[in-house]
Structure 1
């Protein structure tokens, strides 16, 4: 089946006004899962990722659901998610979703039973063999609602509104269920594969964190990323994520700036440590240069996943006025819990 690159979104600071784009905007929750383009020809199911990586083999539970529940041939754009939590307190579970990508077929089958996935549809790109890419979003959404009206678990239709005030409330409330923000879609826009036509508003927060060390850039020189830590209630300094995406010039400058903080052994060599390995880092160099944990940096982040930053954070500024020991988890904003079932309703 022909691959279709998903249409993308560019970041904005806040939920835009509905009339800020010609033809108006519609708003949807921003799901924190795997973006997926689902092809169904009436018999076979193919699931492509945002980067066109085949996802089909990792989600046999969804393949079965699509073949069983979809009323006819189609191409759907949506998000694969995994739900967890007790009834009335469900939320999206990124760690459980990530674990579904496993090389062993037996493990894939086991996880499909233990942590079954759901699919949230938000666009219809083809119906009964006819492409809808050149149709405006308002028409594609109407067609999707008619097509998906009878779908049941684990397939869902994403909520939508043209009310910017309600969308702004979603931005706050839905985070408690593990969602990632709000997406605004021009109602008059055709589907543009690979283009950033949509707008996304996410949470912007700052935190003061301790620099634990740095990884050398893959080129062999300069700082590739900074490792960050926060102090827990037990007084232990814990790795919470990292900063990367420095320019070539800045990578070299950071080596000089951080040189006085490098921990050294009796021979004068830099002490190196290793971060924990995962299936994604197998075969990769996870070593880093240890630094004295005294330098504090203010970073921008969007959300936490457990005790770590969900995404790579952005450098804001050095904080020479902050004592490293004052950088604790208590400063982090914790969203009010919100039941995922209400979002999926």
Structure 2
């Protein structure tokens, strides 16, 4: 950890790429929906969990520190994903919300959660073995080294599946979502490990939904709309917050202020009425207030997956839908992935 390695990243593509699209061919593997982490095992057996950002994860996962220390050889550096598994055998899946709860400032709470919702580590690359760097080694050789390193590994540490068959990868894209996974990653077999570079390719699900605009937040610059708050009606007729859409250009942010002005809820003095979204530990001092809108404007958005009753990631604005009645925007329109057992993915 004295000289941390930035994780190699992936570029989004519309579909699982053909193996011949890159020289040397491709290896495919599931895209895990967790915390990316590079594990460092020192010559003295000390284990550190790095993150994609600058914040170490070591203190939040004491059970993984112990497990990895007993399962990875000293002087190794392994790239992978931290996940939380929930459900009975045969009905297991990943739980992003339970994983998010593991980031807690209180040491006592960290210890409790380590017992209540223990994490697993899914290994998918090795960057150092026996103290020797493998960064310049082709992925095909790194994968072979990783398999040799983890030949007898046991839970909660796992070796991710791989395939060189594109049809198998396409089947994974459809089936594994039912276990809470995020898509499929394609890795060039001949590629070295390039920290911080988008060398890999990732294919995720692309879906659309018509949702109601509940309000908007002002952009951090103080000018224009930074994000739209979105909602759907449940079976009881309640309008529930399901997430947000952002990433507007400067010009578009200003245009949205004018477009949404007729829908702004105002008090008796004509001032915009503001509300607040629920604050979480990730909010910090961030302003969670928003300008409330009358729930009558419908927008079509693109999204990849749901986490419970909310969009898993920030969605993309597609187009206004003036032909849709807001009351017709319900959860029933959303595609429900077929159930798939996480244990079968890990086997």
Q: TM-score range by the shorter chain?
A: over 0.9
Corresponding position of 2:222: 220
Deviations 1:230-254 (A, max 9, x none): 0000000000000011111111110
Corresponding position of 2:54: 52
For 1:182 and 1:195, locate their aligned partners in 2 and report how far apart those are by CA, in whole Å. 18
Contact 1:3–1:52, Cα closer than 8 Å, also in 2:
no
Contact 1:5–1:52, Cα closer than 8 Å, also in 2:
no
TM-score by length of 2: 0.98
Contact 1:297–1:316, Cα closer than 8 Å, also in 2:
yes
Corresponding position of 2:109: 107
Structure 1, gaps ≥5 residues long: none
Select which of 148, 161, 164 maps to 1:162: 164
For 2:272 and 2:54, locate their aligned partners in 1 and report how far apart those are by CA, in whole Å. 41
TM-score by length of 1: 0.99
Give the length in aligned residue pairs: 345
For residue 19 of structure 1, give the secondary structure of its aligned residue in structure 2: helix
Select which of 130, 150, 153 maps to 2:152: 150
For 2:274 and 2:147, locate their aligned partners in 1 and report how far apart those are by CA, in whole Å. 55
Contact 2:73–2:130, Cα closer than 8 Å, also in 1:
no
Corresponding position of 2:268: 266
- Post-superposition shift, 1:191? 0.3
Corresponding position of 2:20: 19
Corresponding position of 1:137: 139
- Post-superposition shift, 1:71? 3.1
Structure 2, gaps ≥5 residues long: none
Select which of 45, 69, 72 maps to 2:71: 69
For 2:77 and 2:62, locate their aligned partners in 1 and report how far apart those are by CA, in whole Å. 18
CA RMSD of aligned residues (A): 0.7
For 2:313 and 2:236, locate their aligned partners in 1 and report how far apart those are by CA, in whole Å. 25
Select which of 87, 90, 111 maps to 2:89: 87
- Post-superposition shift, 1:73? 2.1
For 1:90 and 1:60, locate their aligned partners in 2 and report how far apart those are by CA, in whole Å. 23
- Post-superposition shift, 1:334? 0.4
Select which of 297, 315, 322 maps to 1:313: 315
Corresponding position of 1:188: 190
